[in-house]
Structures are given as structure tokens and as C-alpha cells.
Amino acid sequence: MPQTVALFHSFVGVAASMTCIAEYMHMHPAMLDGTCDMPNFIKAMAYAGTFIGGVTATGSLVAFAKLNENFLGKKVSTAAHAPPGGQITNLALLGASFAPLYPLLTDTSMSLNDGINCMMAPTIGSAVLGVTLTNAVGGADMPVIITVLNSYSGWALAAEGFLLNNNMLVGVGSLIGQCYKYSW
């Protein structure tokens, strides 16, 4: 059962990232011509949802593989494996993921292609970060990690709710995001 939950969380992460990028693309013309009320808020929520979704997607796949002890027919070690460089690597990935946020927020005439390139940084960086963070935890602690990743999927959902102006998504995402601290 935990493997199934982890696999479903990976789908939620992919959906969150794709939805946030798609909504950024949809809102881009309104942000360029000035008819968008809060362009920086929309950009920040799209960025946050994309980042959190990426960590959730790949982290959940690693958790699934460790619990299942195989992934796509290959044996997976359940031991903890820290990334080369340890936490410095994770901090570098975090910094690289958020570095393009500044130009995205400050350049009001950024083209759609440049904006999408800025949105790819949290997508790729967080995907790698999800692998390195989850892989650094042993298989026995994977149920706890799945709970944390569930929380992340809630926060990604809440970011999507802000982005789509949907109060239900904000509320449900916030509830899911808070549930991790009560489950262990």
C-alpha cells in the first residue's frame, strides 16, 4: 500500500508542475499587456507550484522504488545514499532552482520563451533535488518520507489554487499540507 501511495504522489507532482507551467503560459499575454491584476503573485505561485511538484514527483518515485526494492525491473538498494558533496549539493540545487525567479519577477517585458526557460529551472532543479533528498533516507523511514511528500503535494495544490483563483484548491491543499505533522 505505501508503494501505491508513493506512486500516486508522483502523479500529483507531475500534474502540479504541468498545471503551473500551463497557467503561466495562459496568463503571459495578460501580464505583458498590463491587464493582469497581480502578475508577480501569479509568477511566484506558478514557480512555487512547479518547484514543489518536481520534488514531490521524483522524491515519490524514489520512495516507491525503495519500498518496492526494484524500479522498472532493476534492483534498488534500500540503504541511504547521500549525494556527492552531501548537503552542499542540495543547497546548490536549491539555489540554482530559485535563481531565475528574480529575473522572472522583475522583467515585465520578458518573452514567453524566456519565461518558460525561467520556469524550467525549478522543474529540473527540483526533480534532481527530490531524488537526492529522498535517496539520502533509508528504506525503513520511507513511510515517513511518503507522509512528508504527501504534505508537499498539498502545498503544490494550494499554490495551484492561488494561481487558478480557486478557493477549494487552496483550502484542500492547505489541509493536506498540514496533515503530515499529525500522522507520526
Provide the pLDDT for residue 108.
Answer: 86
Q: Note the pLDDT of residue 73.
A: 76
Confidence of residue 183 (pLDDT cuts 50, 70, 90): low
- Rounded Cα distance, 53 and 139, in Å: 22
Q: Contact at 8 Å (CB) between 62 and 69?
A: no
Is residue 180 very low, low, confident or very high in pLDDT (cuts 50, 70, 90)? low
Q: What is the mean pLDDT of residues 89-115?
A: 91
Please identify which residue in the block is written with the cell numbers 501580464.
31
pLDDT of residue 150: 86
Instruction: Compute the distance between CA of residue 12 and CA of residue 20 in angstroms, rounded to an integer.
Output: 12
Sign (positive or negative) of CA dihedral 65, 67, 73, 79:
positive
Cell numbers for 49 = 507550484
Please say whether the beta carbons of 118 and 103 come within 8 A: yes
**Residues 52-89, buried b or exposed e (16+ Cβ, 10 A)?**
bbbbbbbbbbbbbbbbbeeeeeeebeeeeeebeeeeeb
Q: Inform me whether the pLDDT recorded for 118 exceeds 80.
A: yes
Q: Is the pLDDT of residue 94 over 80?
A: yes
| Domain ranges across the chain | 2-182
The pLDDT assigned to 181 comes to 59
pLDDT score of 184 more than 60: no
Average pLDDT over residues 88-109: 91
- 29, pLDDT greater than 90: yes
Has residue 70 got a pLDDT over 80?
A: no
pLDDT of residue 40: 93
Average confidence score pLDDT of the chain:
88
Instruction: Give the pLDDT band (50/70/90) at residue 59.
Output: very high
CB atoms within 10 A of CB 1: 7
